[in-house]
A and B are shown apart, each in its own frame.
Chain A
Amino acid sequence: MTQGDKFKGYRGPGLETLKRFNVGVWEDVCVRSAKGEFRGIILPRSETADDRHIVLKLDTGYNVGVAAASCIEITSKGRREANYHIQENEFPTDPAKPDVVLFGTGGTIASRLDYRTGAVIPAFSPGELYGSVPELADICNLTTKKLYGVFSENMGPNEWIGLAKAVAGAIESGVDGIVIGHGTDTMHHTAAILSFMIQEPAVPVVMVGSQRSSDRPSSDAALNLIHATSAACISDIAEVMVCMFGPTSDKYGLLHRGTRVRKMHSSSRSTFRTIGDIPLALISEAEIRPLRTDYLKRRPDRKVKLDAVYDDRVSIVYYYPGMKPDVVDALVDNGYRGIVIAGTGLGHVNKPLYPALKRAVAKGVHVFMTVQTLWGYVQMYVYDTGRDLMDLGVIPAANMTPEVALMKLGWTLAHSDDRDEVGRMMLTPVAHEITEREPPDGYLILQGGLPEVERFLKSYQM
């Protein structure tokens, strides 16, 4: 054991105190302090916690922190190291079952405690997954491939391209379905870009994550994973999708189109919603029930159109009243090639921005308008502002959400810098990122407190 391991995480006064009494982590000790006597095992210290306390695990399983400065004596009775592992059992294979590849990018589908940070880190091998979600073996033969181990905010163009290539490779190698474990924060960004990079896949490509980490008994991870794996195996929807809880209750999941889905709540299980349309399908332990028919079907060939390119010189400008033109100027001066504006209402910004936008377009920057209302289309003819903006060269991006428009623009600019061609590609839907129409039930946010909603909630389980 190295010195670092012996004092894992301890620094400053905490480290000095351990050294002074010649004890280290995992030692079973009796601490005599100014506050009295404490017996327990010395635990590693989280790097983000202060350096003035020593953590003990008492016999009762509770942890307590004792101030290093108050320690009068520490005596050791030996070592009792914890052996934290997720139960690992060999994942059974059955030739009659479909083959699924699970790609890992990070997130908390399965996880364990990380003593360095005190946070959870993902665990991932098929054996570990089988140990924690044995139901998976009833669904498929599972292989896993860890591509990245990052929180989803750290996913970026390189990871998207690597992931798209890995998925295409797996499709061509003949698997029956693909599941991608991903942190939920930017899952809709990755779902959108994959929808452009992996076109017409022969099999389902299902992204999944969890809103409550899998180290919690109430986690949605296991059920989401079961749903996603079933969708990858059984579903005949061969598109890039997100599979997450429908309601907050443990009842069913929804399959959302990768270009229309968005995370809508910072913590709720029911955070993923299809925007401006209805989801593709509902999935429960009993069945996969398609909610629409206009999807691409699973094919026996092993083909996919891989188009994994991205130009990251693109940005979103989230407009706010009083915005100054230098925000736009800064982007242009820093070499950005594409700007997606999240405008107000039908797609508006204030007059002071006009010269800056005009300059941007003149310098060859591609500027597209989306709406910060998220639901609804950009419509720039209704008011003069919209017409003025179009005259300046701002192109309305229909009903792409701002994030999807950004992903599409980055992907498009990797193909062309020609103004007409960029405009044509942006406005030609690849995977329903622009839809012809918004159905009447494409926008439904029930308002709590209303008698009819109360009746619904009471009879339904939200």
Chain B
Amino acid sequence: MAKPSYSNLPFYASLGLKCGLEVHRQLDTAHKLFCDCPVRPYSPEYHAEILRHMRPTLSELGEYDPTALMEFKTHKQIIYRLNRETVCTYEMDDAPPFRLNRDALHRAMVLSVMLDLNQVDELHIARKQYLDGSIPTGFQRTMILGINGLIMCNGRRIGIRQLGLEEEACREVSDRGHTRTYMTDRLSIPLIEVVTEAEARTPAEAADMAGVIRKICHLSGLVRTGLGRVRQDVNVSITGGSRVEIKGVPRIRQIPGLVHFEALRQKALLEVRDLLRDSGVEPGAFSDDLDVTAAARKHAKRLFQKRLSRGNKARAVILRGCAGMLSHPLGPGRTLASEVSDRIRVIACIDDMPNMTCSDDPDGPTALFDEARRKAKAGPADAVVVVAGPVRDVVTAVQEVKNRMLEALEGVPRETRKALSSGVTSFERLLPGPDRMYPDTDLPPIVLSQREFETAEDQAPEKLWDKEAAYLGSGLSQAQVDRLLTTDQFRVYDEAIDRVKLRPSILAYLLVDFRVGLRRAGVEVGALDADLLAALFGDDSCASIKQKDAAKALEQALRDKA
């Protein structure tokens, strides 16, 4: 298959693609956000474990959040691993928050200036519910510092909806059956969440927006860098579809493919909806389910080997008029049946794959389906889904199969999805709404002083797009500018540029491409700073030096130093 062009504007415009980002980036503080635990490199080591469950609670406006109710249905046991060096009773939710980390606040305020936000005068800490267990309190403490900002991306103004300062969640270690295990060292590290408006029109633009925010973060010098310190949530919708959030994408280069296939998935789901409606399928078509334990033992023993042991049950759900629908393709290697299977895995916690079988499956146990159809007085036009496992999980699974089919009748369900290594996504949870927000009653509002605003304003560097324009104007290529910024070498460049006589593009070459090459070749490059460059290339004669010769001179100097 030819690689699709992710910047084909007319194609994505025909779908009505809209895409926005939520960029989560850790701030480079010494301590966590609400306690004095240090921020350390991640480690799998732990000294103790605790076990918790989560229950949904009402939002401030008196509603339950749908995601919260979904997580409650999963009956998950959450285990937290605790390392004495990185976790205290606060992260364990055995102590209230101490005070807000002022260094983190200051850093986030500087970034608010850089994103041109309308800044909030008084911060209100909110609790954002997360019942997946990723935070032991069951909520993330988060606050909005500013709204309605903007960035420039490829010459377009892109709106920034808001910047939040929040605490990091745990790192998931494993999630099997009804047990999910987390490591807590990352928990409560301060991070900013930058939310853009849904103004990317193509998958490529979404990645470009992420790139701009990344460069702004680097330019600030206030964030942590490296893998595991930044994650992007990507929101995608098409005309007639729904907002779907692809969670926690670690690398920007993954974004275009994920957005593309999500757009196509939504389009395919709309086709499924139309097919279902055209063939007269109504919500009542999914109401029947029946016990098929004996038939499954007889006809699908191999398939359900593990899951038909001791007291477990198998149930069939009859989907009237739906034969052929479950095999409708939704993306590479994905069908509607994959979506149903995801729900069973995530919500009913039946996660030995395959966790279901359906009558659209060419290798499926036909005799089992036939028997289910016979018992249910169903015919060949009706699809059958069979699930097996512990009774309680099967009851949940049957309900989820029905729920997912009801959603298929509506079109595209609002979900958060997880990026798979294959470049497509799978269901993670229902998309939460504003009902998961609740004011934090443990800490009073934080009034920001005029002085704090002024200090942030003073410390904020020039706007990224102004700085980039200056670099480009001095003859650097866009690729050089990007690399200078994202490798943080722009600091050395800025310090050196007035002290060397080199052409700017040669200086940039030395600091990014050539420096990386040297390091890979095993040359110690730690001494490559503005002083060295000034000593080597400060003379007027260097104005005409060729890139190749400058590189040679630099390499020699570094080797001599080592």
The chain A residues found within 8 Å of chain B, CB to CB, are: 33, 35-38, 46, 48-50, 52-53, 55, 57-67, 70, 82-87, 112-113, 118-120, 132, 211-219, 222-223, 247-251, 265-269, 448-449, 454, 457-458, 460-462
Additional 19 contacts, C-beta under 8 A, given A113-B438, A217-B55:
A33-B118, A60-B161, A60-B162, A61-B434, A65-B124, A67-B122, A84-B58, A118-B441, A218-B54, A218-B136, A218-B137, A249-B51, A265-B94, A267-B94, A268-B94, A269-B94, A457-B47, A458-B46, A460-B49
| Complex Cα spacing A243 to B118, Å | 50
Q: Does B435 contact A (CB under 8 A)?
A: yes
| A37-B136 in contact given A53-B445, A65-B445, A217-B54 (Cβ < 8 Å) | no
Closest CB of chain A to B163's CB: distance in Å?
A: 11
Chain B contacts with A in 130-173, Cβ cutoff 8 A: 131, 136-139, 142-144, 147-148, 161-162, 164
Identify the B interface with A (CB < 8 A). Answer: 46-62, 64, 68, 79, 84, 89, 92-96, 117-124, 126-129, 131, 136-139, 142-144, 147-148, 161-162, 164, 433-439, 441, 444-445, 447
Name 15 A/B residue pairs within 8 A (Cβ), A-sorted.
A36-B117, A55-B124, A61-B126, A61-B436, A64-B120, A65-B445, A70-B121, A212-B137, A217-B57, A217-B137, A223-B53, A249-B52, A268-B95, A448-B84, A462-B49
Residues in A whose Cβ lies below 8 Å from that of B136: 218
Q: How far is the CA of A58 from the CA of B1 in the complex (A)?
A: 45
B94, A461: Cβ atoms under 8 Å? no
Which of B58, B118, B123, B138 contacts A36, CB < 8 Å?
B118
Answer whether A217 and B68 are a contact pair too, CB < 8 Å, given A53-B122, A62-B143. yes
Q: Which residue of B lies closest to A251 (CB)?
A: B51
Q: Are B447 and A53 in contact (CB under 8 A)?
A: yes
**In the bound complex, do residue A58 and residue B118 qualify as a contact, i.e. CB atoms below 8 Å apart?**
no
* CB pair B62 A85 closer than 8 Å: yes
Distance to closest chain A CB from B110 (angstroms): 16
Distance in angstroms from B51 CB to nearest chain A CB is: 4
> Which residue in chain A gives the minimum CB-CB distance to B447?
A50
Are the CB atoms of B137 and A65 closer together than 8 Å? no
Give the CA-CA distance A39 to B22 in the complex, in Å.
21
Tell me which residues across on chain B come within 8 A of A70, comparing CB atoms. Answer: 121
State whether A248 touches B50 (Cβ < 8 A): yes
Contacts of B92 in A (CB 8 A): 248
Counting from the closest, the 9 A-B pairs by CB-CB distance are A217-B138, A65-B122, A36-B118, A61-B437, A61-B434, A63-B124, A457-B48, A249-B51, A67-B121
Min CB gap B479→A, angstroms: 35
- Which residues in B have their C-beta under 8 angstroms from that of A269? 94
Determine if B84 and A62 form an interchain contact, defined as CB atoms under 8 angstroms apart. no
Bound-state Cα–Cα, A63 to B121, Å: 12
Report the Cα distance A64→B58, complex, angstroms: 20
CB distance A83 to B61 under 8 Å? yes
Q: Which residues of A contact B126 (CB under 8 A)?
A: 61-63
Look across to chain B and name the residue whose beta carbon is closest to the beta carbon of A64. B120
Collect the chain A residues with CB atoms within 8 Å of residue B129's CB. 217
> In the bound complex, do residue A86 and residue B54 qualify as a contact, i.e. CB atoms below 8 Å apart?
no
Query: Is B439 a contact partner of A63 (Cβ separation < 8 A)?
Result: yes
Most B C-beta atoms less than 10 A away, residue of A61, A84, A222: A61
Task: Check A62–B438 contact: CB distance below 8 A.
Answer: no
Most buried by B among A46, A112, A113: A113
Would you call the interface of chain A mostly helix, strand, loop, or mixed? loop
Contact across chains for B47 and A458 when beta carbons are under 8 A apart:
yes
The CA-CA distance from A80 to B59 in the complex, in Å, is 15
| Residues of chain B contacted by A218 (CB below 8 angstroms) | 52, 54, 93, 136-138
Q: How far is the CB of A217 from chain B (nearest CB, A)?
A: 3
Of all chain B residues, the one with the shortest Cβ separation from A217 is B138
The CA-CA distance from A460 to B47 in the complex, in Å, is: 11
Nearest CB in chain A to that of B149: its residue? A36
Contact B51 A461 (CB under 8 A): yes
Pair A65/B120 contact, Cβ less than 8 Å: yes
For residue B444, which residues in chain A have a CB less than 8 angstroms away from its CB? 46, 48-49, 118
CB contacts (< 8 Å) of B61 on chain A: these are 82-84
User: Does A119 contact B120, Cβ atoms closer than 8 Å?
Assistant: no
Chain B residues with CB under 8 A of A119? 441
Question: Which chain B residues border A458 with CB–CB below 8 Å?
Answer: 46-49
**Nearest CB to that of A266 among chain B residues?**
B95
Cross-chain contact B62 with A59 (CB below 8 angstroms): no
Asked if A64 and B123 make an inter-chain contact with CB atoms under 8 angstroms apart, the answer reads yes
Given contacts A59-B434, A217-B129, A248-B94, whether A84 and B48 have CB atoms under 8 Å apart is: no
| Contact in complex: A84, B118 (CB < 8 Å) | no
Closest-CB distance, B233 to chain A (whole angstroms): 14
Q: Which B-chain residue is minimally distant from A219 (CB atoms)?
A: B55
Within the complex, the shortest CB–CB distance from B48 to chain A, in Å, comes to 4
Question: Chain B contacts of A49 at CB under 8 A?
Answer: 444-445
Which among A60, A217, A223 has the greatest number of chain B C-beta atoms within 10 A? A217
| CB-based contact B52/A250 at 8 Å | yes
Shortest distance in angstroms between B555's beta carbon and chain A's nearest beta carbon? 51
Task: List the B side residues contacting A66 at CB < 8 Å.
Answer: 120-122
Distance (Å) between the CB of B135 and the closest chain A CB? 9
Also in contact, A62 and B62, with CB within 8 A (given A38-B147, A50-B447, A217-B54):
no
On whether the beta carbons of B122 and A214 are closer than 8 Å, the reply is no
Asked if B62 and A84 sit within 8 Å, CB to CB, the answer is yes
**In contact, B148 and A36 (Cβ under 8 angstroms):** yes
CB closest residue in chain A, given B52: A250
Residues A118 and B49 in contact, CB atoms below 8 Å apart:
no
Q: Find out whether the CB atom of A64 lies under 8 angstroms from the CB atom of B51.
A: no
Assembled-state Cα–Cα distance A224/B54 (Å): 14
Q: Identify the closest chain B residue to A66 (Cβ).
A: B121
- In whole angstroms, how far apart are the Cα atoms of A215 and B441 in the complex? 10
Task: List residues of chain B with CB within 8 A of the CB of A84.
Answer: 58, 60-62
Is A216 a contact partner of B137 (Cβ separation < 8 A)?
Answer: yes
C-alpha spacing A359/B198, complex, angstroms: 81
Chain B positions within 8 Å of A448 at CB level: 84
Q: Contact between A267 and B57 (Cβ–Cβ < 8 Å)?
A: no
Q: How far is the CB of A37 from chain B (nearest CB, A)?
A: 6
A210 to chain B, nearest CB (A): 12
With contacts A37-B118, A267-B96, A461-B50 taken as known, whether A215 is within 8 angstroms of B434 at the C-beta atoms is no
A84-B58, A216-B57 given as contacts; is B447 within 8 A of A113 (CB)?
no
Q: How far is the CB of A162 from chain B (nearest CB, A)?
A: 29
- A300 CA / B437 CA spacing, docked (Å): 49
Q: How many whole Å from A65's CB to the nearest CB in chain B?
A: 3
Q: Chain B contacts of A118 at CB under 8 A?
A: 439, 441, 444
**A212: nearest chain-B partner, CB-CB:** B93
Q: Which residue of B lies closest to A265 (CB)?
A: B94
Query: A454 to B94, Cβ gap below 8 A?
Result: no
Residues of chain B within 8 A of A86, CB atoms compared: 58
B60 touches A82 (CB 8 A): yes
A65-B123 in contact given A214-B57, A217-B68 (Cβ < 8 Å): yes
Whether A113 contacts B122 by the Cβ 8 Å rule is no
Chain A residues with CB under 8 Å of B95's CB are 266-268
| Cβ contact of B124, chosen from A37, A64, A113, cutoff 8 A | A64
Q: How far is the CB of B316 from chain A (nearest CB, A)?
A: 29
Question: Which residue from A37, A48, A250 sits with its C-beta under 8 Å from B53?
Answer: A250
How many Å lie between the Cα of A268 and that of B55 in the bound state? 19
The closest CB in chain A to the CB of B118 belongs to A36
**A111 to nearest B CB, angstroms?**
10
Q: How far is the CB of B487 from chain A (nearest CB, A)?
A: 34
Closest to B62 in A: A84
Query: Contact at A461–B57, with CB atoms within 8 Å?
Result: no
Find out whether the CB atom of A35 lies under 8 angstroms from the CB atom of B447: no
A105 to chain B minimum Cβ distance, whole angstroms, is: 20
Report how far A83 CA is from B121 CA in the complex, Å. Answer: 27
Nearest A residue to B79 by beta-carbon distance? A461
A60 to B436, CA, bound (A): 10
A268 lies within 8 A of B439 (CB): no
The closest CB in chain A to the CB of B81 belongs to: A458
How far is A217 from B96 in the complex, measured between Cα atoms in Å? 14
| Given A217-B57, A458-B47: A60 in contact with B434 (beta carbons within 8 A) | yes
User: Which residues of A are found within 8 Å of B58, using beta-carbon distances?
Assistant: 84, 86-87, 112, 132, 215
Assembly CA distance A218 to B129 (angstroms): 10
